[in-house]
Amino acid sequence: MSHFPFTLLLAVLISAATALLGNRSARDRVYHAAYLLLSCLIATLAGSWIMYLIHG
C-alpha cells in the first residue's frame, strides 16, 4: 500500500469517528464527516505539492 491510500484510510477513520461524537442529528454528522474528509484530502494534496516544489 502506498502512502496516499493509507493517508486516505486514516482520513476516513478520523472523519467517521469525529462525526460520531456529541449529540447531533444524522444530517449534521454526515456533513461533518464529509467536510473533514475533504479538508484532509485538500491538506494532503497541498502538502504533497509543497514538498514536491521544495525537494523536486
Partner 1 sequence: MKPAMMALFGWLVPGGAYLLLRRYTQFALFLLLVSSACAAGTALQGGNQWPHPAELQGLDGFTVIVAQAGALAKMLAGGAYLAARFLDGNHTFLTGRLHEYGTTLLTLAGLLNLLALADALELRRAMPRKVNQA
Which stretches of the chain bind partner 1, using CB under 8 A? 1, 6, 10, 13-14, 16-18, 20-23
Choice between 14 and 41, CB closer to partner 1: 14
13/10 Cα distance (integer angstroms): 5
Choice between 22 and 56, CB closer to partner 1: 22
C-alpha cell at 36: 473533514
Shortest distance, CB of residue 38 to partner 1, whole angstroms? 20
Rg (CA), the chain: 14
Shortest distance, CB of residue 55 to partner 1, whole angstroms? 20
C-alpha cell at 26: 444524522
3-state secondary structure (DSSP) of residue 1 = coil
